[in-house]
Amino acid sequence: MAPVSSLPSEILALRERLRGRVALLAHQYVLPELARLADAVGDSLELARLAAERPEGEVLLMGVRFMAESAALLAGENKRVYAPVPTAGCALAEAVRADALARALEESAQRGREVVPVAYANTDVAVKAVVGRHGGAVATSANAVAVVRAYLDRGKGVLFLPDENLGRVVAWTLGLREEEVRLWGEAPVEDRRIRLFLWPGACPVHAALDAVDLRHRKESEPHARFLVHPECPLPAVREADAWGSTRRIQEYVESLPPGTRVYVGTEERMVRRLAEDHPELDVRLLLPRESAVCPYFAALTPERVAEALQAIAEGRGEAYEVRIHPELASDARRAVERMV
């Protein structure tokens, strides 16, 4: 494994000074050297769980805002959760507003059909609060299939939001027929043949994967393996050897025999870290390089992490603390607790 020593010495010293007091958690998409600095690296579901489980009283979560919010909701009142750039968002979180979701659910109920919202974790806390209020749950790419299945099995109609691609992967995995899945607004909500409605959002990093390009590459490199994140379009996911959360992708890569060439369809920095950590494999980026860097994660530079660590060490961490508005906390927490 490559060393962390490419980081400035101040950040390494700060990190040592705070060890035992502040848990340092990292999402898979941070720079490789920051991931190696962390106590644990995880997908968004693991990070939410870890923030609650870690014994330290404070957590610096190197991830985007929705990840830190889920962690803060689960960590409870006595733990402080910080983010190096608390304003760092996510294109999916921007694809749905709480008021639009509440209106959609209320209109649907007025028309005689109460659909249950299942929100991808990549949403604002205000959206999660609407979901909690309407008896729904939060899900990540690691458990979206199980969460949606649980509601469908109880005879409920589900509105999955806001990642249409992940919603289609879930529908395909569950074996739903074409007429059972519709985009929200595309067909009358009263039509009870429709079991799964999808909110029309997408992640620009993953949506750029083209299934035809993938098929051509498979044909020209029949011995290579292809892995994708389920935020990629369904036709591309169907072409891949496997799909899953960032943790599942990492586990799959690590299970491959030495010498295997593996193309990974997810964010560039994670693929770079896998390639650096596994020189015995030939790990390559599958997404188009020009759009494979998540612009929101790009804000998490070593300098910003060092500033946050410095502030926390000096007792000035408030600017980095992720606090949940008290009016939203209990509803949003209910939805997130159903996820874990």
Residues lying near ligand SF4 in the complex (CB under 6 A) are found at 64, 90-92, 122, 203, 205, 231, 267, 294, 296
Kindly give the interhelix angle for 125-133 and 65-75, rounded to the nearest 10 degrees. Answer: 50
Given the complex with ligand 13P, which of 123 and 140 has the nearer CB atom? 140
Q: Which residues contact 186 (CB under 8 A, 6 or more apart)?
A: none
Binding partner of 296, given ligand SF4, ligand 13P, none, CB within 5-8 angstroms per partner class = ligand SF4
Binding partner of 245, given ligand SF4, ligand 13P, none, CB within 5-8 angstroms per partner class = ligand 13P
Given the complex with ligand 13P, which of 164 and 231 has the nearer CB atom? 231
Given the complex with ligand SF4, which of 91 and 96 has the nearer CB atom? 91
Token readout for 209 is 């994967």
Given the complex with ligand 13P, which of 108 and 245 has the nearer CB atom? 245
Chain positions contacting ligand 13P, by CB under 6 A: 28, 43-45, 122, 140-141, 203, 229, 231, 245-246
Q: Which of 318, 262, 251, 301 is nearest to 285 (CA)?
A: 262
Given the complex with ligand SF4, which of 94 and 213 has the nearer CB atom? 94
Residue 57 CA from chain centroid, whole number: 24
Residue type, 3: P
Contact 116, 158 (CB under 8 A): yes
**Cβ of residue 13: shortest distance to ligand SF4, in angstroms?**
30
Which residue carries 């369904």 as its tokens?
234
H or E segment and range at residue 119: strand 116-120
H or E segment and range at residue 207: helix 204-207
- Please state, in angstroms and rounded to a whole number, the distance separating the CA atoms of residues 38 and 322: 19
Binding partner of 44, given ligand 13P, ligand SF4, none, CB within 5-8 angstroms per partner class = ligand 13P
Binding partner of 140, given ligand SF4, ligand 13P, none, CB within 5-8 angstroms per partner class = ligand 13P
**Cβ of residue 79: shortest distance to ligand SF4, in angstroms?**
23
Binding partner of 165, given ligand SF4, ligand 13P, none, CB within 5-8 angstroms per partner class = none
Q: Helix (H, G, I), strand (E, B), or coil: what is residue 157?
A: coil
